[in-house]
Structure 1
Amino acid sequence: MSGVQHPMPLPEEPLADRHKLGWGLAALVVAGNMIGSGVYLLPASLAPTGSSSLIGWLVAGAGAVTLALVFGALGRLQPDADGLSGFAERGLGRFFGFQTALAFWTACLVGNVAIAVAATGYLGFFWPVLKDPVAATFCNLGLIWLATIAYMVGARTASWVAALALVVGLAPIVIAVAAGIVAFDPAIFAQSWSPSGDPLVETVPASLAVIFWAFLGVESAAALSLRVRDPARDVGRASVAGVLLATVIYVAATVAVFGVIPAGVLAQSTSPYADLASRVFGASIAGFVAICAVAKTIGTVGGWVMLGGETARAAARRGYLPSGFGHGARTPVANPLLGGAIMSVVTVLSGQPTLGGQFNILAGATAVLSLVVYAICSAALFRLARRSRARAVAAVGFLFACAAVGFAAPPYILPTAGFFVVTSLAWMAFMRKRAVPVDPGTPAL
């Protein structure tokens, strides 16, 4: 103890209930952030694995529900922790809180650029000029700043944009599932079970490599805990409900597609749901699917912009980032502006043809960064919990997240490790001597 007297901060103005999210809206944000633009291409990505990828969806869904229970328990134990870095700090100390804040913030920013790129790809269905790298870059920038402006208007506005986009974006999937119900052929589904003839012990792990990416976003309600009306109750409800909704949608869509289109044909598709619907209902449905995909990806960008901004605000509140990102419950305008500027830089760099491979590495590392954050939060719950049931959930969540890192993207483990080396050096140089956290509500461990 240094004995230095620190001035007491001014009390923060709490957010009014009308500015907060109920558990239902928060659940839609969770589901919307998970069901991103990639869901429209996942059946084609999983075609080499075949319809046995259904098992992978169920395994990943069970793991995601476990992680949802982890975040729900953290929300009950620490309802005022203000996001993932707050959970990590209270359970494991400020070093892990610092690492969690920077890792999740980086994952939000870099991953969001990839989602914007996907939205531009769907827009290219209507305007082929967007296939040009320069035009695509400008479109990406426009989408990012559109979502940034929505967040600047207010977190609730961004949440409604994400929720409405989820409803619109589910339309082509609902149509695809309906087409699958009408034209489902058990023989086609069985023939596509394992196109390579490999055993399930090989095909299921192969499918997990793609599937784990689809469940990133399970932490959304916990990351927005300060914006949720009753965190102790609603974070858990929203997390579990969002994961279950996403899992049901993923499983239904997978069965529908593989029950109508043979795996060999599906592997060549660039729009599997449109192809399925056109087989059953006619080719004119492709344009409608593209419109819905654009709406969904724009909404997903909005949801992740909000997550990135709230993570930066919570980090600044604890002194992990400059105070310009926020110093209390309110999010200053500088926060989304700085986030938008960083995403703009990443967009421009990734739009250069010679840097495409580098951007792919960063995008893959996004998944690993998020999974490491899940593991840290699970460990924090194990430390904070007093009941054996909560500790068991924490242990399973930790093991699931660690296994997911190995399955999801092994080539990206090294750059992710490099990221944590850099942040650890930054901690040693700038943060270690700060004995008292900025947030007076955070207890020292």
Structure 2
Amino acid sequence: MTQELRRSLGVFDAVVIGLGSMVGAGIFAALGPAAGAAGSGLLPALGVAAVVAYCNAMASARLAARYPASGGTYVYGRERLGSFWGYLAGWAFVVGKTASCAAMALTVGAYAWPEHAHAVAVGAVVALTLVNYAGIEKSALLTRVIVAVVLAVLAAVVAASAGAGEASRLALGGDATAGGVLQAAGLLFFAFAGYARIATLGEEVRDPARTIPRAVPIALGVALAVYAAVAVCVLAVLGPGALAASGAPLADAARAADAGWLVPVVTVGAAVAALGSLLSLILGVSRTALAMARDGYLPALLAAVHPRSRVPHHAELAVGAVVALVAATADVRGAIGFSSFGVLVYYAIANASAWTLGSRERPLAVLGLVGCGALAFALPPASVLAGVGVLAVGLVAYAVSRGRPARPRR
């Protein structure tokens, strides 16, 4: 008989887990590449990404309330569209978010000890995997602390940059193309995808039919407000060209605003933010791996639940090992586009699943589905080609796994 996970998370913890992923990934990893694509169109791109994310959030919330089990869109696609679409969503999520985990681990290393970024990244993965192994309540508690620190640092950057009114005219100048705005929106979508963690933890949320639909929009709204405030201030101080060229835009914005004392604070905040993202990302990937293992698409060993801590401990250890290996060799910026492609495929399937729920859900589901497709194929060509190639590998694995009997579901 399948063991169930412990339901211990309320609305506040679910919101914090979502924020822990979104805020760290977005502000410290995606703003620079997005500015390189959109230039002065960074703010419109943020708006486009937010609209698509909102559609996806509502689709995920309604589906998660109906199917409160670990696995997120893997479960929704399986139940609403069929096993193939569920598998494709799960594969896209696991692969895309593994790249995200590596990117966040490398961000920790780049800020904490640039000369040994890969070694620090591997150490961060090992440490947070052990935290997750100890139980979901400990993960939620640590995420609360991380989110509080990151929001305080971002508030300090906004306050220090707020007086740069003359620079704002330069930030809003220049040319922006529609293609560049769409590509930037696709890259910025990487920053909004954290609310998926709430849905993939559906089996560990108390009263999921009420908690998940409340937590997802709250987390998304808070993240959007934070992103908009920081993006406006950083653009005002640096301008789109300098922002695109910056490897540490918030630290550079503090220097440009004559707040050099804030630079070490931002450096610590960036490392802490990336740790928060990494913590919740490992949670989400391991829960999707658990769900796929329960259905026979991944090794049965990954379906084990620890008898005391009630977490999918084998899946967490396996995910941690793979992420550590990728973090030892990967490139941060290259991982963002690849991750965005996989996650946009995942949410396209979520919107298609929500469309089947009824006429009330269909307008947002259609907008979300079209938006995901547009942003996915507007990404840099290398990211699209790599994403399509990895999805093809997943389809081959699906064809092989179809000959195996699926284990019974709960």
**Structure 2 residue 26 is matched with structure 1 residue 53:** no
Q: Tell me how far apart the structure 2 counterparts of residues 363 and 55 of structure 1 sit (CA, whole Å).
A: 20
Report if the CA contact (8 A) 1:50-1:258 is conserved: no
- Displacement, 1:123? 0.6
Shift in CA distance, 13/405, structure 1 to aligned 2, threshold 3 Å: closer
Match of 1:430 in 2: 401
How many angstroms apart in 2 are the aligned matches of 1:66 and 1:376?
A: 12
How far apart are residue 277 of structure 1 and its match? 3.1
Aligned partner of 1:309 in structure 2 is 286
Q: For residues 101 and 286 of structure 1, do their structure 2 counterparts lie closer, same or farther at Cα, with a shift above 3 Å needed?
A: same
Give the deviation of 1:216 after TM superposition: 2.2
Counterpart mapping for 1:38-437 below 5 A: 38-40=26-28, 42-48=30-36, 49-80=38-69, 82-124=71-113, 130-131=114-115, 135-181=116-162, 183-185=163-165, 187-195=166-174, 197-198=175-176, 201=178, 204-280=181-257, 282-327=259-304, 330-350=310-330, 363-383=336-356, 385-386=357-358, 388-432=359-403, 434=405, 437=406
Preserved contact between residue 188 and residue 261 of structure 1 (Cα < 8 Å): yes
CA shift in 2, pair 1:47/1:246, >3 Å: same
CA shift in 2, pair 1:80/1:209, >3 Å = closer
Distance 2:236 2:4 in 1: 55
Contact 1:164 1:299 in 2 (8 A): no
Displacement after TM superposition at 1:32 (Å) = 1.7
Structure of higher CA gyration radius: 1
Give the counterpart letter for 1:338 in structure 2: A
Asked if the contact 1:158–1:302 (Cα under 8 Å) also holds between the matched residues in 2, the reply is yes
TM-score, structure 2 length as denominator?
0.90
Q: 1:32 to 1:425 in 2, by over 3 A?
A: same
Query: 2:393 & 2:239 partners in 1: Cα distance?
Result: 47
Asked if the contact 2:106–2:121 (Cα under 8 Å) also holds between the matched residues in 1, the reply is yes
Deviation at 1:159, TM superposition (A): 2.4
Provide the C-alpha distance between the structure 1 equivalents of 2:264 and 2:69, rounded to a whole number of angstroms.
Answer: 46
1:35 equivalent in alignment to 2:58: no
Change (3 A) 1:271 1:362: closer
| Stretches of structure 1 lacking an aligned partner (at least 5 in a row) | 1-9, 125-129, 351-355
How far 1:429 moved relative to its partner? 2.1
AA partner of residue 160 (structure 2):
A
What RMSD over aligned residues (CA atoms) do the two structures have, in Å?
Answer: 2.5
Asked if 1 retains the 8 angstrom alpha-carbon contact of 2:355 and 2:366, the reply is: yes
Residue 14 (structure 1) shift: 5.8
Whether the aligned pair in 1 keeps the contact of 2:179 and 2:378 (CA below 8 Å) is: no
Deviations 1:242-289 (A, max 9, x none): 111111011111112222334444445443323333454631211111
Contact 2:187–2:336 (8 Å) recurs in 1: no
- Give the conservation status (yes or no) of the 8 Å contact 1:37–1:293: no
Q: Are the structure 2 counterparts of residues 121 and 57 from structure 1 closer, same or farther at C-alpha, using a change threshold of 3 Å?
A: same
CA distance in 2, matches of 1:158, 1:106: 22
The whole-number CA distance in structure 1 between the counterparts of 2:400 and 2:180 is 46
Whichever residue aligns with residue 343 of structure 2, its letter is S
Post-superposition offset of 1:69: 0.4
- In structure 1, how many angstroms separate the alpha carbons of the residues matched to 2:364 and 2:25? 30
Shift of 1:418: 2.1
**TM-aligned CA deviation for residue 93 of structure 1:** 1.1
The answer to which of 110-119 and 201-210 deviates more is: 201-210
Offset, 1:348: 3.1
Task: Kindly provide the amino acid, as one letter, of the partner of residue 86 in structure 2.
Answer: G
Mean Cα displacement is larger for which, 236-245 or 34-43?
A: 34-43
Q: Which has the larger displacement, 422-431 or 145-154? A: 422-431
Q: Is residue 25–residue 190 contact of structure 2 (8 Å, CA) maintained in 1?
A: no
Q: Is 314-323 or 254-263 further displaced after alignment?
A: 254-263
After superposition, the C-alpha distances for 1:66-87 in whole angstroms (9 at most, x for unaligned) are 1110011102332347532111
**Residue identity in the other structure for 2:199:** A
Residues 241/107 of structure 1: CA separation in 2 closer, same or farther (3 Å cut): same
C-alpha distance after superposition, 1:328-357 (max 9, x if no partner): 69434322222222122223343xxxxx5x
Once residues 404 and 280 of structure 1 are traced to their aligned partners in structure 2, the CA distance between those partners, rounded to angstroms, is: 33
- Distance in 2, Cα, partners of 1:438 & 1:64: 33
Could you list the runs of 4 or more consecutive aligned residues of structure 1 that deviate by over 6 angstroms after TM superposition?
Answer: none
CA distance in 2, matches of 1:80, 1:94: 16
How many residues are aligned here?
406
Shift of 1:157: 1.5
Runs of at least 5 residues in structure 2 that lack an aligned partner in the other structure: none
Paired with 1:345 and 1:122, the residues of 2 have a C-alpha distance of 20
